[in-house]
Amino acid sequence: MTEDGQIAERTKALKPPAVLANRFFIVASQGQVRVSFGEADLEGTVYHQAAVMSRENALALADLIMGLLKEGTKIKPSAGAGGLH
């Protein structure tokens, strides 16, 4: 992806509001993976969003997250995009 393409992708990706997620529930079936995001507090867990993706995209997401987290000592925030159509 070109630098202009990365900037455009980042702009689009940061538009939706972010919701705190401190609870995750993942179901992997033969063809897809569903990741549910929720918030746990003293009264229990409320799940507020889920994403379904192919197993291939789930592996790409895992690699992207691990790669970004390994850069944890950087001062500037990192970002990345991925996924297959």
Domain spans in the chain, listed from the N-terminal domain onward: 18-69
Distance CA 45, CA 39 (A): 6
pTM to 2 decimal places:
0.73
Q: What residues have CB less than 8 Å from 64, skipping those under 6 apart?
A: 80, 82
Q: What is the pLDDT of residues 10-53, one digit of tens each?
A: 889 889 888 889 999 999 999 999 999 999 999 999 999 999 99
Name residue 51's amino acid: A
d(CA 37, CA 51): 8
| Residue 2 main-chain phi, psi, to 5 deg | -70, 165
